[in-house]
Amino acid sequence: MLAGSTEWLVPAMSSGAIGAITGLANAYPRCCLRLFNLLEEGNKIEEVTKLQARISNAEYGMGGRGLAGVKWTVGVVRRYEKAQKMDNEISLLAPRRPLRQLRLEGKQWVNERVLELHGLEAELKNAESWSGKGETNGTREVNGGP
């Protein structure tokens, strides 16, 4: 089991891992599950490579600005009211002191990398791979367990 960055899912599963626990899955669960399913299906190297690149770029955007970037990403993805006002310098999503909150340029930088997965997540929302076999209440069963 991989615990950490989704960008390591492909090499981890190629080496025998059976899954992952990652932060990005909180924001884009369907994208992460799609990558996992493609890896399990095998022989889909081109599709895996493209999706892995998109996920890695989003993960870099989410974590590339530290905790402030993570908080901003979660706010935008989950549509928290204050996160929608990019020019709002006082935000519920700002990290506590002594960490600095993101400036407008930082928010735009994160958005350019992270929000690219929004469209794919929406496409996958009703896809068979999300609501199909092997899942219980939004969690995927592995070896008969939830």
The model's pLDDT over 61-106, given as tens digits with 9 standing for 90+, comes to 888 778 788 878 877 777 654 445 555 544 566 777 888 888 888 8
8 & 52 share domain: yes
**142, β-bridge pairs:** 145
18 & 84 share domain: no
36 & 14 share domain: yes
- Threshold 0.85, pTM exceeds: no
109 & 129 share domain: no
Phi first, then psi: what are they for 142, rounded to 5°?
-125, 125
> What burial class does residue 105 get, using C-beta atoms within 10 Å of its C-beta: 0-12 exposed, 13-18 middle, 19+ buried?
exposed
Model confidence at 127, in pLDDT bands (50, 70, 90)? low
32 & 1 share domain: yes
Task: Give how many domains the chain has, as a whole number.
Answer: 2
Per residue in 37-62, pLDDT tens? Answer: 999 898 888 999 999 999 998 888 88
Residue 5 has pLDDT above 50, yes or no: yes
Domain residues for the domain of 13 are 1-63+117-146
Distance CA 66, CA 137 (A): 31
84 & 110 share domain: yes
> What burial class does residue 12 get, using C-beta atoms within 10 Å of its C-beta: 0-12 exposed, 13-18 middle, 19+ buried?
buried
pLDDT of residue 93: 67
pLDDT of residue 130: 47
Distance CA 81, CA 116 (A): 20
85 & 35 share domain: no
43 & 8 share domain: yes
